Copies of this chain bind each other. A is one copy, B any other.
Amino acid sequence: MRAIVGNTMVPTIRLTVPGTLRYRAIAVRVVGEACRLVSSSTQRDPDDPVVHDVRDPFDTAVISAFMEIFNNIAIHAYKRTGGGVIDLAITPTERELVIEVRDHGHPFDLDDVTPLPNELDEDSLPEGGMGIHIAKTMLDEMTYEPGPPNLWRLRKRLSANQAAGARRS
Interface residues of A (CB under 8 A from B): 1, 3-7, 11-18, 22-23, 25-26, 29-30, 32-34, 36-37, 47, 49-52, 82-85, 87, 102, 104, 148-149
| Interface pair A16/B13, CB less than 8 Å apart | yes
A36 CB, min distance to chain B CBs, angstroms: 7
Sample 29 A-B pairs with CB under 8 A, ordered by A number. Answer: A1-B87, A1-B102, A1-B149, A3-B85, A3-B104, A4-B85, A5-B85, A7-B83, A11-B82, A12-B16, A13-B15, A13-B18, A13-B23, A14-B14, A14-B15, A14-B17, A15-B16, A15-B30, A26-B30, A26-B33, A29-B29, A29-B32, A29-B33, A29-B50, A30-B30, A47-B49, A47-B51, A49-B50, A49-B52
* Number of copies of chain A assembled together: 2
Complex CA distance for A20 and B22, rounded to whole angstroms: 29
| Interface pair A4/B16, CB less than 8 Å apart | yes
What residues of B have a CB within 8 angstroms of the CB of A17 in the complex? Answer: 11, 13-14
| Interface pair B33/A25, CB less than 8 Å apart | yes
A81 CB, min distance to chain B CBs, angstroms: 11
Task: Return the contact of A26 from the options B13, B22, B149 (Cβ within 8 A).
Answer: B13
| Interface pair B37/A22, CB less than 8 Å apart | yes
What residues of B have a CB within 8 angstroms of the CB of A47 in the complex? Answer: 49, 51
Complex CA distance for A16 and B23, rounded to whole angstroms: 17
- Given A26-B29, A29-B30, A30-B30, 5 additional A-B pairs, CB 8 A: A5-B18, A13-B23, A25-B33, A25-B36, A47-B49
